[in-house]
Amino acid sequence: MKPVVLVTRKLPDAVEDRLQRDYQAILNPTDQLYRGDELLARAAGVDAILPCHTEKFTAEVIDRLPERVKIIANFSVGYDHVDVAAAKRRGLVVTNTPDVLSDATAELTVMLMLGAARRASEGERLVRSRQWRDWSPSFMVGVQMTGKRLGIIGFGRVGQVVARRARGFDMEIHYHNRRRVDPELEAGAIYHATPEELLPHCDFLALHCVASPETVGLLNRERIALLPDGAVVVNASRGVVIDDEALIAALRSGKVYAAGLDVFNNEPEIHPAYRELDNVFLMPHIGSATRETRDAMGFRALDNLDAYFAGREPGDRVA
Ligand code: 8YV
């Protein structure tokens, strides 16, 4: 008997084909988010769940999962939507999809930096709304990325690719990470032992740390004050790492010149002030949303399921 796998969202065709070939796959062709207890109801009689970050596996949900469910093979690198401690207590295996989305997320990060620095939202709105009437040397002037200092908080897989891409803009790379990385991976980036030491060096600041109790509100009022005046802030990690009120105040005062945000607290209900500000470039959590990466994420989640059901250790086990 093939294991039964509950797939919570619509996945690329090639991924669903492989799922249907190797498993008894319960797909979600409508792609509607399962709300309330619907996820639990659908988990009845399944051996595995393949969810996205949109499904929240709180301790309560995990405790109520049917006994038969043995593995949560996430279609995401982040797994802050899963209470890992509760999963471990229950002996539930949890996996993620690292590496395969680093390039796409780094590309999006570069887009956030350019979009914020060059006022992309404002310019686009102007053209689309037919408000563009004239041109002058002082019109739509932004700030340049080339040659500036980029600070990266969280120098893991994505942060390191962002550094490589940013070198193409002749940026000087600085970073903070819980641990200093190997010199080979650093590739000349300058390490700072604390965010406080890093922040004064950031003309651009990119956040790539994991969401955890330690990183909630990491970019707060005190730390924003340490940035150079007129810095650009971008976030393609998780919304919780930014204290919205603090960033909004800094965007209003001009302390922060502009922000590029792909992730938010309480998505998709973002802080309403972001919609009112001209100096923000906003995207709807699409860091890894390329055709190539979506396929690769699905196959990576399937590789983890295959390993588990073949009695091997899944390559990307996080619990
Ligand atoms: C995904 C992400 O699109 O992988 C992550 O952690 O945030 C995004 O790349 C999303 O999580 C899909 O579940």
Q: Return averaged pLDDT per consecutive 10 residues of the chain, 319 residues in all.
A: 98 98 98 95 98 97 97 98 98 98 98 98 97 97 98 98 98 98 97 98 98 97 98 98 98 98 97 98 98 98 98 98
In a domain, 14, yes or no: yes
User: In terms of domains, do 205 and 278 share one?
Assistant: yes
Cα separation, 299 vs 75, in Å, equals 9
State whether residue 275 is helix, strand or coil. Answer: helix
**Residue 45 and residue 260: Cα distance in Å, rounded?**
43
Claim to verify: residue 114 and residue 254 sit in the same structural domain = yes
Are 135 and 219 part of one and the same domain? Answer: yes
Q: Is residue 134 part of a domain?
A: yes
- Map residue 192 onto helix, strand or coil: coil
Indicate whether 302 and 156 sit together in one domain. no
CA distance linking residue 247 with residue 310, whole number of Å: 48
Domain assignment of residue 91, given as a range: 4-100+291-309
Residues 28 and 162 in one domain: no
Across 184-241, the runs of DSSP E, i.e. the strands, are 190-191, 204-207, 231-235
Q: What is the tally of structural domains in the chain?
A: 2
CA-closest candidate to residue 174, choices 188, 161, 164 = 188
Cα atoms in the 13 Å half-sphere on the side-chain side of 128: 6
Report pLDDT for 61. 97
pLDDT value for 240: 98
Catalytic residues: 238, 267, 285
287 Cβ below 6 A of ligand 1: yes
pLDDT for 59:
98
Evaluate the omega torsion of the peptide bond into residue 12 and state whether it is cis, within 30 degrees of 0.
no
The Cα–Cα gap between 165 and 123 comes to 24
Work out which ligand 1 atom sits closest to the CA atom of 51: 13
C-alpha distances in angstroms, 140 versus 117, 119, 120, 253? 11, 7, 9, 19
- pLDDT value of position 209: 97
Taking alpha carbons only, the member of 104, 204, 191, 211 closest to residue 151 is: 204
Our mutation pick for probing the ligand 1 site, out of 76, 97, 283, counting the most ligand atoms within 8 A of Cβ, is: 76
Please tell me the predicted confidence (pLDDT) of residue 48.
Answer: 98
pLDDT at 106: 98
Are both 64 and 160 inside the same structural domain?
no
**44 shares its domain with 141:** no
User: What is the whole-number distance in angstroms between the Cα of residue 53 and the centre of ligand 1?
Assistant: 6
**Residue 152 belongs to a domain with what CATH number?**
3.40.50.720
Count Cβ neighbours within 10 Å for each residue of 148-181 and write b for 16 or more, e otherwise.
bbbbbbbbbbbbbbbbebbeebebbbbbbbeeeb
The Cα 173–Cα 308 span in angstroms is 39
- Asked if residue 127 and residue 96 are part of one domain, the reply reads no
Cα–ligand 1 centroid distance for 104 (angstroms): 11
- The Cβ of residue 279 has, within 10 Å, a number of other Cβ atoms equal to 17
Q: Which atom of ligand 1 is nearest to the CA of 97?
A: 4
